[in-house]
Structure formats: C-alpha cells, structure tokens
Amino acid sequence: QVQLVESGGGLVQPGGSLRLSCEASGSIFAIYLMAWYRQIPGNQRELVASIEINHVTNYTDSVKGRFTISRDNEKNAIYLQMNDLKADDTAVYYCYAFRVVINGGRNHHNVWGRGTQVTVSS
C-alpha cells in the first residue's frame, strides 16, 4: 500500500517561513500529480498548491507569491516552501497524490497523508 508522510509543520510567527515535506513510500513507479491541501476545523479541505509530473504548478490565490511547491520525482517527494506566513495559513496541511502508478501496473487514484499542523501565531 502506498503511504504519504508529511513533515515540517510547527509553530511560526507571522511573517515567518516553514518548509513542508511529503514523501511517498511503496513500490512506486510514478505519480502523475501531487498536491498540498489544508483544512481548519469546521471548514472544508481546500487545495493549496498542486504540481504535475512535468512540474506544471497551480496555486490558490491566497498563497500566490508566498508559497512554492516543488517535487523530486526520484524521491517521490513534494515540498512546500511557505514564506510570509499569515494567521490565516494556520491549518492542518495534507499531502495528496493522484494516479500513483505502482510497479506492476496497478494505479492508486487518490492517496492522502495524515497531515501536519501549521500554526502561525505571535
């Protein structure tokens, strides 16, 4: 079974920076798209940034210019560099993978990590 493990969350002051990491484990051949989502209690989970296997990226408007998503296909990992963090960025951040191609040809279409807490506060 494919697993996604996030790391790098924590407490940071407004204006500060954090770098999140997500590494996929398993017998993986390729992952078409990976993304970061976030969720706060009482709210629906929202897309923060996505990155395709060819490194094409998309960002939600609220993080454009502040966050940068990147991926390392060799490691089946993605990263989220978060700069100029704001209180509204406080959330649990989840790693997501779409169309995970397993060695042998089987695909997993939706895989979620367990999340990492990001808290932006003075």
The pair of structure tokens assigned to 20 is: 């999140």
Residue 48 sits at the vertex; the CA angle it makes with 4 and 12, to the nearest 5 degrees, is 85
pLDDT tens for the chain, residues 1 to 122: 899 999 999 999 999 999 999 999 999 999 999 999 999 989 999 999 999 999 999 999 999 999 999 999 899 999 999 999 999 999 999 999 999 999 888 888 899 999 999 999 99
In the three-class reduction of DSSP (H, G, I as helix; E, B as strand; rest coil), residue 98 is classed as: strand
Tell me how far apart the alpha carbons of residues 1 and 75 are, in angstroms, rounded to a whole number: 17
* C-beta of residue 37 within 8 angstroms of C-beta of residue 23: no
Tell me how far apart the alpha carbons of residues 94 and 116 are, in angstroms, rounded to a whole number: 7
